[in-house]
Amino acid sequence: MTARQEPIKGGYVYVPYEGYEYRVFYEEAGEGIPLVCLHTAGTDSREWRHQLCDRDINENFRVIAFDMPWHGKSIPPVGFEKEEYRLTSKFYSEFVVAFCDALGLDRPVIMGSSMGGNICLHLALNFEEKFRALIAVEACDHSPGWHISWLAHPHVHGGEACAGVVSGLMAPQSPEAERWETLWHYMQGGPGVFRGDLHFYKEEGDVRDRLSRIDTRVCPVWLLTGEYDYSCTPEATMEAAAAVPGSKADVMPRLGHFPMSEHYEQFAGFLRPLLRQIRDEAAVGP
């Protein structure tokens, strides 16, 4: 068997934000329009490896996936042990902007899934002029439920419990190997990180009363949700899309809550045409 190499390159960038300097790990591949990918709650940028290796995409896009602080290879700031980690929409949205600024990205496309999809709606509300387009995967305007206080119990294995919680969110048609790889990411999250992310996803990030203010003429918004997702249901996604004037939405058959990692080839059938449209519109110009 011949050894293979992937086109992905990794590195670190120091991102200044509100008096701290965050050491952030990111991977990238391709050239062209920046496409920044945001991972789901409790995991990291490994979820996007298929997009990073997709020749159809990285011929025209510089695909970048990074680990938020506390996740993957991005360590928390000094003094993190003094307070509980709780992600907020302010920190999340402003940090995405700070990361893009640190890399000098010119109006990148942002694509996020789950909590990364929900934050796209906040970015559209507050930073629309900074982005070329926003692709909100498995996103809705609020995500209630999920009793998770028990994850901190000393008799609970946090990683395995998190994987168990999300295992049913994937489509039954997704390949077994890709399903288990997705769960492996959840098994490796830091203590309290999944729970802290869900503070934003399930409690603090509600934007139901603000969606009508999003101007898709400045920054187009797409919403893509898998038909088997019961955390962000297709119905919830369509309701959010209906509240955003000019947005576009699709329900993706045979996919669940993690389309980019649980069954990439199925997801790519939706993603590639969308990115070609963004590429073609960029070629025409404003």
Give, in words, the CATH class of 12-284. Answer: alpha beta
Nearest residue to 122 (alpha-carbon basis) of 110, 132, 104: 110
- Is the predicted pLDDT of residue 257 greater than 70, yes or no? yes
Host H or E run for residue 124: helix 115-126
Predicted confidence (pLDDT) at residue 247 exceeds the cutoff of 80 = yes
Q: For residue 285, name the pLDDT band (cuts at 50, 70, 90).
A: low
Task: Determine the average pLDDT of the residues in 143-159.
Answer: 72
pTM of the model: 0.95
Choose the weakest-confidence range: 16-30, 48-62, 159-173, 212-226: 159-173
- Of 127, 117, 126, the closest CA to residue 197 belongs to 117
* Cβ pair 245, 218 in contact under 8 A: no
Residue type, 122: H
Residues 6+ apart with CB under 8 A from 108: 33, 34, 35, 36, 64, 100, 131, 132
Confidence band for 34, pLDDT divided at 50, 70 and 90: very high
In one-letter notation, the amino acid at residue 156 is V
Alpha-carbon distance 60 to 76, whole Å?
33
- Over residues 272-280, the mean pLDDT reads 96
State how far the Cα of 7 lies from the Cα of 59, in Å rounded to an integer. 12
Which tokens in the block code for residue 227?
């038909």
- 27 confidence band (pLDDT: 50, 70, 90): very high
The whole-angstrom separation of Cα 202 and Cα 251 is 22
Least confident of 117-121, 133-137, 176-180, 280-284: 280-284
**The pLDDT value given to residue 41:** 94
Predicted confidence at residue 251, as pLDDT, reads 98
Q: Of 49, 50, 45, whose CA–CA distance to 65 is shortest?
A: 45
More confident residue, 105 or 82: 105
Average pLDDT, the chain: 93
First to last CA, the chain: 49
- Mean pLDDT over 193-220 rounds to 93
Q: Higher-confidence residue: 95 or 144? A: 95
